[in-house]
Amino acid sequence: MGRVGVPVYRGSFETPQAERLLWRAGFGPRAGEAEALAKLGLDGAVHALLYPGREQLVGPDPHDSKGRPLAPLDAWGHDHTWWLDRMVRTSRPLVERMTLVWHDWFATSNDGVGNQKLMLKQNALFRSHSLGSFEELLIEVTRDPAMLKWLNGVDNSKDAPNENYAREMMELFTLGADRGAYTERDVREQARSLTGWENDWKQGVGDYDFHFDPDAHDTGTKTVFRKSGRYDWKSACRLCVSHPLHASFFVRKLWSYFVPVAPDHATQAALEAVYRKNRQLKPVLQIVLSHPALYDGPRMMKPPVVHVAGLLRRIGAPITTTDWAWIGELAGQQLFYPPNVAGWDETRWLDTATFRGRWIGVQRILEGRTLDPAKSTAADAQTVLTRALSFWNQPALSDATRAALLQFAQTALADAGKQKWKQQQYPALVENALRQLIAVSPDVQTS
């Protein structure tokens, strides 16, 4: 694009760069996808992600372990599995990845909402606004039923203000804590501006009919950010996004989903300037996805759901179980259940417990795809490793990791000694083991 002062990646854009882009801006490549994207060049590749056209879901429909279609609006765990399937099969990876970003940004948990229909409705909102205007998104989120329920928007009335949403809207969604952007007084006044939302409840239906009731709204004058007016809920949103400290918060936070180190000063300034024009996502994402730091910079831990979706996508495996929900929980990311309103802690994805969760995710993919040792024939370590890498469609591994895997294969095959049945069967066992080890290696956990 050649904007003045915005660094753009100028190195070679081949399959490895395209693959990294697909991991950061999506869920990794399908077979052949990185190669095809590389042919478009950097600008073409970023354009293809930003303007993907109509969504196509590639591959068979998902089902549970009994072959029944998913029921994401109702059944426990089907919500997670339904969305995972979309990540695996979508032709619009950036749309889906940004939907995940908004789910983390406006982190709403069904633990507090207690209604999968409302959660899925919010998910559709995130998807339809995934690459649009942040201001519009904030306004829509503010009146979104799941959010109204989650942060007590419907418990906030002129006679009985509830500060929950007002505070998080500024602290987590638009301005950030401890930056001097707002005071405790602003929290209380914004809560008054946001009064008026209500809903009904009926046995068997649950929460329904979310609406704004002017009688419950505080029409008085509020003083927010040292300005006064008869603000309402939309003005509360607009005051936040037009606050002088909003753009810096916004671009820094958005950037952090794609690049693990903070933007340099020039980049930060350029991002803010572009964002301030109209608060549209695409021009900002264009800069982030074309930035040298994404291609030349350090690797990034894959979020657990991205790791699993990427592995399934990589081998074109369909969703055949709703076990993915509890496996997601073990790995530290059950969709629709972020740990709190701040979302998942991106700096602490991996620990000894979530490592085991990721291990079980890989194990679940391999179940039903194992090699039968009875049908195995003798093979050397290098051959077995090559086959295991082919199973995953040739993931890029560092030399050191490759050496560790080869060492394992050699040692394990040598255990067969002179016993003929072992010589025949161990290559299958070792390849099964290698498939697991490859997918949990540090190389594949990061991108």
Partner 1 sequence: MSCFECTRADAVRAVAGRGLPSIEPGMPTPAGTGLSRRSFVAKSLGLALSVYGAGKLQWFEEGIANAATTPASPILVTVFLQGGADALSILYPEGDPLYRKLRPHLAVSGGTTFAEDDRLKWHPAMSPIAQLHGEGKVSVLPAVGYDHPDQSHFTSRHFWEVGATDTRLLTGWMGRYLDVAGAPDNPLQGLSLTGQLQPTLATAKVPVAAIDGPDQYDFWVPGVWGEVETRMLDAVGSLGGVASSDPAFRTAADVTLQSDRLRRQLDPFSAKGAITPAVAYPKSDDSFPTQLQGLAAMVAAGLPLRCVALEATGEYDTHAGQVSALAPALTTTAASLYAFQRDLEARGVADRVLTLVWSEFGRRAKENGSGGTDHGAAGTGFLIGTRAAGRQVGEFPGLGSGLDDDGNVKATSDFRAVYSSLLEQWLGFDAARIIPGAATLTRPKLVK
Q: Which is nearer to partner 1, 20 or 129 (CB)?
A: 20
Contact between 39 and partner 1 (CB under 8 A)? no
| Residues in region 370-399 near partner 1 by CB under 8 A | 370-373, 398
List the x/- string, 269-308, binding to partner 1 by CB under 8 A. -----------------------------xxxx-------
Cα gap 117→238, rounded to integer Å? 28
Closer by beta carbon to partner 1, 265 or else 352: 352
Cβ proximity to partner 1, 281 vs 429, nearer residue: 429
Map the footprint of partner 1 across residues 314-373, applying CB under 8 A: 330, 332, 339-342, 345, 348, 350-356, 359, 363, 366-368, 370-373
Candidate residues 160, 180, 202, 277; the one interacting with partner 1 per rule CB under 8 A: 160
CB of 238 to partner 1, least distance (A): 23
Q: Which of 184, 203, 215, 377 binds partner 1 (CB under 8 A)?
A: 184
Note whether 52 and 94 are within 8 A (CB). yes
Decide: residue 8, CB within 10 A, 0-12 exposed, 13-18 middle, 19+ buried: middle
Least distance (Å) between residue 310 CB and partner 1: 15
Q: Which residues contact 401 (CB under 8 A, 6 or more apart)?
A: 441, 442, 443
Q: How many residues bind partner 1 (CB under 8 A)?
A: 72
- Site residues for partner 1, 414-433, by CB under 8 A, read 415, 426, 428-430, 432-433
Q: At what angle do helices 78-89 and 323-330 cross, to 10 degrees?
A: 90
- The helix/strand/coil state of 17 is helix
What residues contact 20, with CB distance under 8 A and at least 6 apart?
294, 295, 447
Residue 189 near residue 239, CB atoms below 8 Å: no
List the one residue out of 108, 104, 138, 134 whose CA is nearest residue 120.
108
**Shortest separation between residue 39's beta carbon and partner 1, angstroms:** 28
Nearer to partner 1, 355 or 378 (CB): 355
| 75 close to 322: Cβ distance less than 8 angstroms | yes
H or E element in which residue 401 lies: helix 399-414
Residues 7-36 that bind partner 1 (CB under 8 A): none
Distance from chain centroid for Cα 52: 18
- SS3 category, 133: strand
Q: How far is the CB of 50 from partner 1 (least distance, A)?
A: 26
Q: Is the separation of the CB atoms in 294 and 21 below 8 Å?
A: yes
Q: Which of 177, 262, 266, 315 binds partner 1 (CB under 8 A)?
A: 177
From candidates 5, 53, 178, 227, binder to partner 1 by CB under 8 A = 178
Nearer to partner 1, 6 or 430 (CB): 430
Q: Which stretch binds partner 1 (CB under 8 A): 12-20, 275-283, 386-394, 401-409?
A: 401-409
Taking CB under 8 A as the criterion, the residue among 135, 140, 171, 186 binding partner 1 is 171
Q: How far is CA 125 from the centre of its chain?
A: 15
| Alpha-carbon span 271 to 275, nearest angstrom | 6
To partner 1, the closest distance from the beta carbon of 370 in angstroms equals 3
Q: Which of 186, 158, 161 is nearest to 171 (CA)?
A: 186
- Six-digit token string for 321: 């179980």
Cβ proximity to partner 1, 301 vs 378, nearer residue: 301
DSSP letter (8 states) at residue 299: -
Applying the rule CB under 8 A, the residues between 215 and 254 that interact with partner 1 are none
Choosing from 47, 404, 423, 424, the residue that interacts with partner 1 (CB under 8 A) is: 404
